[in-house]
Amino acid sequence: MRIVLAVVVMRAVCPWSRLARPPVVAVDLRWLRRVVSTSSTSGGHGHAPEPHPQEPPLVELVETPRQTGHHLGPPGPPPHHKEPLVHVGVDSFVSRVTDPTTGHVVGPAERLAHLLEEIELADRSGLYSFGIGEHHREEYYDSAPPVILAAAAARTTRIRLGSAVAVLSAVDPVRLFQQFATLDLISGGRMDLVVGRGSFVESFPLFGLDLADYDSLFTEKLELLLALRESPCVTWSGRHRPALTGQGVYPRPVQDPLPVWVGVGGTPASFARAGQLGLPLMVAIIGGEPRQFAPLVDLYRRAGAQAGHPPEALQVGLHVFGYVGESRRAAADTIFPGWHEMFTSISRERGFPPPNRAAFDATSGPDGAFFLGDPDLIVDKLTRVADQLGGVDRVSLQMTNPRLAHEDLLRGIELLGTEVAPRVAAL
5: exposed, middle or buried (C-beta count within 10 Å: 0-12, 13-18, 19+)? exposed
69 versus 198: smaller Cβ distance to a copy of itself: 198
**Residues in region 281-300 near a copy of itself by CB under 8 A:** 286-288
First to last CA, the chain: 68
358 is an interface residue for a copy of itself by CB under 8 A = no
| 102 Cβ contact list (under 8 Å, min separation 6) | none
Among 42, 68, 98, 143, binds a copy of itself (CB under 8 A): 143
Regarding 85 and contact with a copy of itself (CB under 8 A), the answer is no
Q: Does 16 bind a copy of itself (CB under 8 A)?
A: no
- The answer to the question of residue 141 lying near a copy of itself (CB under 8 A) is yes
Among 355, 375, 391, 402, binds a copy of itself (CB under 8 A): 355
Nearer to a copy of itself, 1 or 426 (CB): 1
Contact 405/109 with Cβ under 8 angstroms? no
Residue 150 found at the interface with a copy of itself (CB under 8 A): yes
306 lies in the site for a copy of itself, by CB under 8 A: no
Question: Which residues have C-beta within 8 Å of that of residue 165, sequence separation ≥ 6?
Answer: 54, 133, 134, 194, 195, 196, 198, 199, 263, 282, 284
Interacting residues with a copy of itself between 394 and 413 (CB under 8 A): none
Question: For residue 178, what are the CA distances in angstroms to 232, 280, 360?
Answer: 10, 21, 42
Among 31-39, 76-84, 275-283, 355-363, the segment contacting a copy of itself (CB under 8 A): 355-363
Residues 6+ apart with CB under 8 A from 211: 48, 49, 50, 51, 201, 204
- Judged by beta carbon, residue 234 or residue 303, the one nearer a copy of itself is 234
Window 56 to 75, contacts with a copy of itself (CB under 8 A): 56-59
- Say if CB 150 and CB 163 are below 8 A apart: no
Half-sphere exposure of 273 (CA within 13 A, CB side): 30
Q: How far apart are CA 227 and CA 145, in angstroms?
A: 22
Any contact of residue 32 with a copy of itself (CB under 8 A)?
no
Q: Exactly one of 18, 38, 158, 202 binds a copy of itself (CB under 8 A); which one?
A: 202
Per-residue x/- track, 153-182, a copy of itself (CB under 8 A): xxx---------------xx-xx--xx-xx
- Nearest 5°: phi and psi at 289? -120, 135
Instruction: Considering the complex, state which of residue 209 and residue 330 has its C-beta at the smaller distance from a copy of itself.
Output: 209
Q: Which is nearer to a copy of itself, 86 or 372 (CB)?
A: 372
Binding pattern for the stretch 221-260 against a copy of itself, x by CB under 8 A and - elsewhere: -----------x--------xxxxx-xxxxxx-x------
Contact between residue 66 and residue 294 where contact means Cβ atoms under 8 Å apart = no
**Which residue number, 34 or 155, has a Cβ lying nearer to a copy of itself?**
155
The nearest distance, CB 424 to a copy of itself, in angstroms, is 26
Note the Cα 280 to chain centre separation in Å.
Answer: 11
| Span near a copy of itself by CB under 8 A; candidates 34-42, 50-58, 218-226, 372-380 | 50-58
Q: Under rule CB under 8 A, how many of the chain's residues touch a copy of itself? A: 90
Kindly report whether the peptide bond that precedes residue 165 is cis, defined as omega within 30 degrees of 0. Answer: yes
Q: Provide φ and ψ at 378, rounded to 5°.
A: -70, -40
Given 28, 139, 326, 380, the residue binding a copy of itself (CB under 8 A): 139
Closest CA relative to residue 185, chosen from 250, 243, 247, 141: 250
By CB under 8 A, which span of 79-87, 290-298, 304-312, 341-349 interacts with a copy of itself?
Answer: 341-349
CB closer to a copy of itself out of 8 and 20 = 8
Distance in angstroms (rounded) separating the CA atoms of residues 317 and 15? 38
Q: Taking CB under 8 A as the rule, does residue 211 contact a copy of itself? A: no
Q: Could you tell me which of 395, 135, 130 has the C-alpha nearest to residue 281?
A: 395
Interface of this chain with a copy of itself, residues 98 to 127, rule: CB under 8 A: 108-109, 112-113, 116
